[in-house]
Amino acid sequence: MARKAIAVFEPEQPEVRYFNRELSWLKFNRRVLAEAANRSHPLLERLRFLSISGSNLDEFFMVRVAGLRGQQQRKIEELSMDGMSASEQLEAIGEEADALMADQQKLWQQLRKQLANEGISVIEPSEIGKKAEPVVEQYFREQILPVLTPQALDPAHPFPFIPNQGLSVILEMRRLRDNELVRELIMIPSALPRFVRVPGVRRNFVPIEELIKSYVRLMFPEHKLLAAGAFRIIRDSDIEIEEEAEDLVRHFRSAIKRRRRGRVIRLKMQKGLPVRLQKLIREALGGERSIATETIGFLGIGDLAQLVEEDRKALKFKPYTPRFPERILEQDGDCFAAIRQKDIIVHHPYESFDVVLAFLQQAAADPDVIAIKQILYRAGKQSAVIRALCDAAEAGKSVTAVVELKARFDEEQNLLWASQLENSGVQVIYGFVDMKTHAKISLVVRRENGGMRTYCHFGTGNYHPITARIYTDLSFFTADPRLGSDAGQIFNFVTGYLEPENLEMLSMSPLGMREKILSLIDTEIGFAKKGKPASVWAKLNSLVDERVIEKLYEASEAGVEIDLVVRGICCLRPGVKGMSSRIRVKSIVGRFLEHSRIWAFGNGHEMPNPNARVFISSADWMGRNFDRRVEYMLPIENPTVHDQVLDQVMVANLIDNEQSWRLLPSGEYEKVTIKGRRFNLHQYFMTNPSLSGRGGALAERNDVPKLDLIRQ
């Protein structure tokens, strides 16, 4: 296969070897924002991307910026990979984030006009109209006013606590009876909708903060309004784990309460709020050290998601119904029979997450199943997975659930699930104090033919029915006794701190996964030095680990061809002469969120090839995944599954040219230019069945459809 020459950056002087992690993440969020500007997407889907970029940025400030601010305040002299101090990073983040938010507001104004042309308008209270105004006022009196609690701001009434992401309105008025200056604060409860629908044929919406300002007279009769404005805060929301915590559950319950009162990291105020009121807010919130900005436009871009829920099918992606694996249907829905036949891999969201639920539900109902072990990282708010485990325990089976309390922003939900599981008789384990259990594994032990057979599910994503509709992930089912034994040892490590001995197939973190990856890359270096084809392909969410990056640099200059699909953070600099001249990096952002982790090594042959060593994993190539998390790395040996993962999924990612961005040596991303045949990764898998889940239809053809590797 002829390789396309790549442009190589030749630095005039030695350059930094790594990109900054935080700035790389901001560039990812800018790629998400670019999807909101993509005119090929339906209008409400563009609005959805805009809201996602806003929610992403909120979380970035809650966690990453909060961490850097903590380093700065504690005067921790810890430099980033690219040599920047916490203060330098915060300054760079501030500039980039401000530019990003300005672009969000510009795009919102564009989308707002286009939505109005489609009959969906966000209007000011003055535009409600005489006919609808009495109805809106009545709604305000009956549905909103009773929920609001105005709070005076004076020496007798200190400034109240405002929760994270809290939206509030501050008022300055003159009381007419005594000409006294009055200041009031109205916190808008999260239970209230951000937009209030105006009755009528058109879909007109008024932001609730504007409605409150408009009806101040209903709350404060005999007052003259002098000034009013809304503001919104972001608080430090990371939870620090105390290694000496004796009771992890009690510690997390306490930590969740503390998180709600974390220090203010970002304060955003409406443009035009008088300086005196801005000063009052900042001083009262202790936000003099927070990053404060005036916002021209809409506060809380993430809240635009409410408008996306409007029932306008023509303005959304055409609904997609996932397929169910043919092999299981041909076995009359018997998951165990299909898995016994041979390994299956299911490609979400193109194939339904219902197959995972069916696997667990069948295990719960099957009288021959005697034990179920399950790792739960994120399971959602209405989880059929939890119900299946509870049913199994109530049916008298031995059920063990490893519930990870350190799943950020799902800690409270996981505590609730843990309580429900325990009430049903499930043995609940909370894992380690200083590590996250991030591996996604289910293990079912079934009595068969006088012995025991173990069935396993390994996922690259979470056991979360909602995200499984929009995240691309892989679910691998197997009855291979070697994998069953290895999975059992991983469970014993988590539940009983028993380090695995002689894992036959799996590799795991924190016990040697990084070393395994380095060894595989070294093998490719060896092939290159012998003049044989040498290749590394990897699909990841993030690439940060220095040791892996350095090994990839070494491989590149030894002659190994390296293609990386890194959706989010990438600290590796590709295409630099003498350092990374054979490394290509791309990012894919589109209808679905790329989330699966796949690694492939050429093994002395041109890629793709039947002898390539292919792995799926729960881990990204980050220090935390290798050192502070329990993760798995699984080799794919079944030929059909191997073909699906390598020749279908990986090749499709590499040849996509409609949703792909190329990472340049400068750290900037450029949209891939379409040359020749167009190829949309997501559209391809929505319209083409995958391989390993197919039954008789594939057998009749007696061949395996593969994609051609055409480099862009």
> Which residues are designated catalytic?
438
Confirm if 71 and 91 have CB atoms less than 8 A apart.
Answer: no
3-state secondary structure 216-274: HHHHCCCEEEEEEEEEEEEECCCCCCCCCCCCHHHHHHHHHHHHCCCCEEEEEEECCCC
Residues 6+ apart with CB under 8 A from 519: none
Give just the sign of the alpha carbon dihedral 614, 620, 624, 629: negative
What is the C-alpha to C-alpha distance for residues 185 and 151, in angstroms, rounded to an integer?
A: 5
Query: Residue 546 corresponds to which tokens in the numbers above?
Result: 């220095």
Query: Residue 248 corresponds to which tokens in the numbers above?
Result: 């992890």
Query: Residue 593 corresponds to which tokens in the numbers above?
Result: 């969120």
535 φ/ψ sector (left φ>0, alpha ψ -120 to 50, else beta): beta
φ, ψ dihedrals at 104, nearest 5°? -60, -45
What is the C-alpha to C-alpha distance for residues 575 and 9, in angstroms, rounded to an integer?
A: 6
Query: Residue 263 corresponds to which tokens in the numbers above?
Result: 């220090």
Residues 6+ apart with CB under 8 A from 238: 62, 63, 66, 67, 259, 262, 408
φ, ψ dihedrals at 137, nearest 5°? -65, -40
Strand-pairing partners, residue 344, are: 477
Name residue 567's amino acid.
R
Closest among 572, 552, 549 to 561, alpha carbons compared: 552
Chain length of the chain: 712
Residues 6+ apart with CB under 8 A from 512: none
Residues 6+ apart with CB under 8 A from 226: 172, 173, 174
- The secondary structure element, H or E, covering residue 669 is strand 669-671
What is the C-alpha to C-alpha distance for residues 171 and 231, in angstroms, rounded to an integer?
A: 11
φ, ψ dihedrals at 547, nearest 5°? -65, -40
Query: Residue 660 corresponds to which tokens in the numbers above?
Result: 């792909």
Closest among 15, 12, 9, 13 to 82, alpha carbons compared: 15
What is the C-alpha to C-alpha distance for residues 477 and 458, in angstroms, rounded to an integer?
A: 7
> What per-residue string of b and e applies to 660-670 under the rule 16 or more CB within 10 Å gives b?
bbbbebebebe
Confirm if 570 and 539 have CB atoms less than 8 A apart.
Answer: no
Closest among 586, 620, 611, 614 to 600, alpha carbons compared: 614
Query: Residue 316 corresponds to which tokens in the numbers above?
Result: 């959304």
Closest among 107, 305, 331, 66 to 194, alpha carbons compared: 305
Other C-beta atoms closer than 10 Å to the C-beta of 443 total: 22
What is the C-alpha to C-alpha distance for residues 660 and 567, in angstroms, rounded to an integer?
A: 10
Confirm if 401 and 376 have CB atoms less than 8 A apart.
Answer: yes
Closest among 506, 511, 513 to 480, alpha carbons compared: 506
Confirm if 612 and 669 have CB atoms less than 8 A apart.
Answer: no
What is the C-alpha to C-alpha distance for residues 540 and 264, in angstroms, rounded to an integer?
A: 33
- The secondary structure element, H or E, covering residue 456 is strand 451-459
What is the C-alpha to C-alpha distance for residues 346 and 689, in angstroms, rounded to an integer?
A: 10
